[in-house]
Structure 1
Amino acid sequence: MTQVALFGAGRIGQIHASNLAALPGVQLRYISDPLTHSAEALAHALGARAVAVEEALSDPAIAAVVIASPTTTHSDLILRAAGAGKHIFCEKPVDLSVARAEACAAAVEQAGVACMIGFQRRFDPTFSLLQTRLRHGEIGLPEVLNITSRDPAPPPLDYLKQSGGIFRDMLIHDFDVFRWILCEEGRDEAVWLSATGACLTNPAIARAGDIDTAIVSIRTRSGRLCQINASRRAVYGYDQRFEVLGSKGLLLAGNHRPTEVLAMDAAGVRTDGPEAFFLERYREAYRLEMAHFIAQLQADAPNSRGGRFRTSIQDGVAAQRLADAAALSFASGQPVTFAA
């Protein structure tokens, strides 16, 4: 039986808690959240106990922790969990500071524990199948990656003020997809990045120090190209898709819809729009990523570098470097280059 503690009882914490509780051979033993009523309600529903972080980390029976708390708490909890010898699953990002994220990676390695970062898009069945077919050579050598990433509406301004900005918060997933598709296993890396953006949906977002629309272009060492277009407003739903152009063809991973019912009449042809938001779009991805985390722990496979995990803390650090470069490029109006 793998005993787990969960830190964070908010929206994503509830998703992870339910998925953990449904896995065979897993006991969700503790839930911790500064909002004690949230922790207690979730713990009561799932047969766990609401406790302080210190109590959970001091229990030798706890093999792993799942960090689903606000971004600003991630690095501190990673360091504390590593110091307690616990394996770690942490939601993205590792931290809003690259230096702090690198310090977490060093602490994880020194402690000899596993740390998986929650880039759930790698577990989405559609995206994962595209990547598998790409690796099998279906379209030859991949040359161009186009990513579309659009939220249905901006988050609350209070969230934006502490999010780290669109590049470190929203596009961090897209930077990981770029590395997953074009740079897997270190065979290639970014050497040039240019980012631009604007505030087009709500002037209050600009006053909060952020933007809501962005374009990022990346070139890799081997000359492969990636473009990411992102917006915090897509009135038609949560728009998540990408395409890869290769030397022998193209693979495209499209949006998911709530149903596949199609209506045709004199007024036209109608289908459902994309899923409402990320909880619906990536419901299965969240389940699969947590099952993967637990399966690797139970197989005694992981190590401090991520072992057989699909996403390691090093992936988190690498995505954070790209996010920082994008923020710098946007602020300066100049591209950023990386060592080849």
Structure 2
Amino acid sequence: MFGAGRIGKIHAANLARHPKARLRYVVDVHDAAAAELARTHGARVASAEQALADPAVNAVVIGSSTDTHADLIQRSALAGKAIFCEKPVDLDIGRAHACADTIARTGVACMIGFQRRFDPTFRALKQRLDAGEIGAPEVLLITSRDPGPPPLDYIARSGGVFKDMLIHDFDIFRWILGAEAVSVYATGAAPEFAEIAAAGDLTTAAVTLRTRDGALCQINTSRRAAYGYDQRFEVLGSRGLLQAGNQRPTEVVAWSAQAISQDTPEAFFLERYRAAYALEIEHFFDGLSQGTPLHPNIDDGIKALELAELATRSWREGRALDCSI
């Protein structure tokens, strides 16, 4: 396990529970965090060199900071280890393609952590869409809002809202519609957050994508939703509509003479996608043990990154861009 931070703890707990996996090493630049996580799951602290040199290690899970992903992907592939890596592959498309080349050359299995594909509600919608329940999809509307912006020092190194937040939504677009974009238009602002605007980033954004057959996708996002973590989408088809809504801590609805009320959405992504994180790790290890393909793979990671790069350019240049990717 590379990374003993917030997401590393989630992945470590899920793989430790999987019957076909055993956590052997935890690698992190922060010794105390690595030691605590290793102790929790009966593993040992090691350096990257030690972990990758051990022939008993069959796979790695990369949950460390984004700036380490490309290096660890390439080193792990060259060491012959199967790879699960959190998104994004890298912030630079050239380095991401270099990773894909190394994966192809070594032939190792590689999965990218777009956990939203494994959310039970989202997957159920996808299955019903593919079964033709609402006919051909025509419009996909995605709402993706965080409860509050991250620290300014994180924003400065995040790659911006399109690569940091919306990269998940670009993957949802490709997965749900089963098509690639031929045009991208993005716009945005940072109202009431002058320091974020000064850092060259946005707090609100809207992106419109069009596929070759004319289907449209519109993504609206915000780094500040006072009511919680807002993650939902709907697909309008030729014969109807499918919606996937938010999750709440409970589904109790209170009725009174004054109002009808229910819980606000889950607080943040760790709570909202608790089941999805477990299911994607299950898919990774089941795929390795059964020799079945892993999805989303590194090509999916690169295509989402390319859309994020195009959206960033579109916003900065103030125009729609043809992509045909």
The two structures have a TM-score, normalised by structure 1, of 0.94
Tell me which of 294, 299, 318 is aligned to 1:314. Answer: 299
Task: Give the CA deviation at 1:267.
Answer: 2.2
Q: What is the aligned partner in structure 2 of residue 182 from structure 1?
A: 177
Segments of 5+ residues of structure 2 without an aligned counterpart are none
Q: What is the aligned partner in structure 1 of residue 157 from structure 2?
A: 162
- Which amino acid is the alignment partner of residue 252 of structure 2? V
Q: What is the aligned partner in structure 1 of residue 208 from structure 2?
A: 217
Task: Give the CA deviation at 1:237.
Answer: 0.6
Alignment root-mean-square deviation, CA: 0.8
Tell me which of 287, 300, 308 is aligned to 1:296. Answer: 287
Structure 2 residue 85 is matched with structure 1 residue 105: no
2:154 match: secondary structure: helix
Note the alpha carbon deviations across 1:282-322, whole angstroms, 9 max, x for none.
Answer: 00000000000000001122xxxxx2x22000000000000
Tell me which of 251, 259, 264 is aligned to 1:260. Answer: 251
Taking the aligned partners of 2:185 and 2:296, their CA distance within structure 1 comes to: 25
Taking the aligned partners of 2:38 and 2:94, their CA distance within structure 1 comes to: 35
Identity over the aligned pairs, expressed in percent?
Answer: 60
Task: Give the CA deviation at 1:100.
Answer: 0.9
- Asked whether the 8 Å contact 1:167–1:326 carries over to 2, the reply is yes
Structure 2 residue 278 is matched with structure 1 residue 287: yes
Tell me which of 19, 27, 34 is aligned to 1:39. Answer: 34
Taking the aligned partners of 2:141 and 2:267, their CA distance within structure 1 comes to: 22
Q: What is the aligned partner in structure 2 of residue 199 from structure 1?
A: 190
Task: Give the CA deviation at 1:201.
Answer: 4.1
1:182–1:215 Cα change, 3 Å: same
| Structure 1 consecutive aligned stretches of length 4 or more whose deviation exceeds 6 Å | none
- Which amino acid is the alignment partner of residue 314 of structure 1? D
2:276 match: secondary structure: helix
Tell me which of 211, 219, 229 is aligned to 1:228. Answer: 219
Q: What is the aligned partner in structure 1 of residue 324 from structure 2?
A: 339
- Which amino acid is the alignment partner of residue 114 of structure 2? F
Alignment of 1:27-176 (within 5 A): 27-176=22-171
Taking the aligned partners of 1:19 and 1:79, their CA distance within structure 2 comes to: 24
Task: Give the CA deviation at 1:107.
Answer: 0.4
- Asked whether the 8 Å contact 1:214–1:231 carries over to 2, the reply is yes
Taking the aligned partners of 1:141 and 1:38, their CA distance within structure 2 comes to: 49
2:22 match: secondary structure: strand
- Asked whether the 8 Å contact 1:81–1:87 carries over to 2, the reply is yes
- Asked whether the 8 Å contact 2:229–2:266 carries over to 1, the reply is yes
Taking the aligned partners of 1:234 and 1:108, their CA distance within structure 2 comes to: 39
Tell me which of 14, 17, 28 is aligned to 2:12. Answer: 17
Taking the aligned partners of 1:201 and 1:320, their CA distance within structure 2 comes to: 28
Which moves more between the two structures, 113-122 or 192-201? 192-201
2:296 match: secondary structure: coil
- Asked whether the 8 Å contact 1:201–1:212 carries over to 2, the reply is no
- Which amino acid is the alignment partner of residue 329 of structure 1? S
Note the alpha carbon deviations across 1:156-200, whole angstroms, 9 max, x for none.
Answer: 1111010000001100000000000112xxxx3111100000002
Which moves more between the two structures, 60-69 or 258-267? 258-267
1:290 match: secondary structure: helix
Q: What is the aligned partner in structure 2 of residue 326 from structure 1?
A: 311
Taking the aligned partners of 2:192 and 2:38, their CA distance within structure 1 comes to: 39
- Asked whether the 8 Å contact 1:19–1:287 carries over to 2, the reply is yes
- Asked whether the 8 Å contact 1:105–1:314 carries over to 2, the reply is yes
Tell me which of 228, 231, 243 is aligned to 1:237. Answer: 228
The two structures have a TM-score, normalised by structure 2, of 0.99
Task: Give the CA deviation at 1:263.
Answer: 1.0
